[in-house]
Amino acid sequence: MEIRNLAVYGSMFLISASPSLADDETSDTEKKKPSNVCINTRSESYFSPITDEYVFVENGRRNYLLTIRKGCFGLRRGYAIAFKGSSRRICSNSRAEIEYTDLQIAMPSCRIEAIDSVKDRNEASGIINERERAKKEAEKKKQDD
């Protein structure tokens, strides 16, 4: 009889432990997934291009880092940057675009690949540096192979 109790307690422990193990695995997986960040375009936005690939945006009380699709030449020196279209909300998975004025190109537009919510411009710079370092490491590894 005591053996049955141990077996029951043991299986109860395993059953109760299994969901927590699954939760740990899920949380690790969720951490790796990029989140879908959205910007309310009704709020006034201030755009500050960092490079041709990254733009820092102040939108109300929130700050964002936009990652722009490659090939957006002149964005760094562009001005009058704005979200293209009339959507009230732009999300990182919405295939939205920005447009800007450049002295050499009339109103070019570029697709937004990702939107990251950031605390401030310093955090945005840290993300950019981390991504650039990862790109260089990947290129170096590719050349070594």
> What CA–CA distance (Å, rounded) separates 16 from 22?
11
Q: Residue 136 in contact with residue 115, Cβ under 8 Å?
A: no
Sorted by sequence, the CB contacts under 8 Å of residue 34 that are 6+ apart come out as: 92, 114
Q: Residue 68 in contact with residue 110, Cβ under 8 Å?
A: yes
> What CA–CA distance (Å, rounded) separates 102 from 95?
22
- The pLDDT confidence band at residue 61, using thresholds 50, 70 and 90, is very high
- For the ranges 44-53, 76-85, 109-118, the lowest mean pLDDT is seen at 76-85
Determine the pLDDT at residue 110.
92
What integer best gives the mean pLDDT of the chain? 78
Q: What pTM, to 2 d.p., does this model score?
A: 0.72
CA angle 34, 36, 38 (to 5 degrees): 140
Neighbour count for residue 68 (Cβ, 10 Å): 20
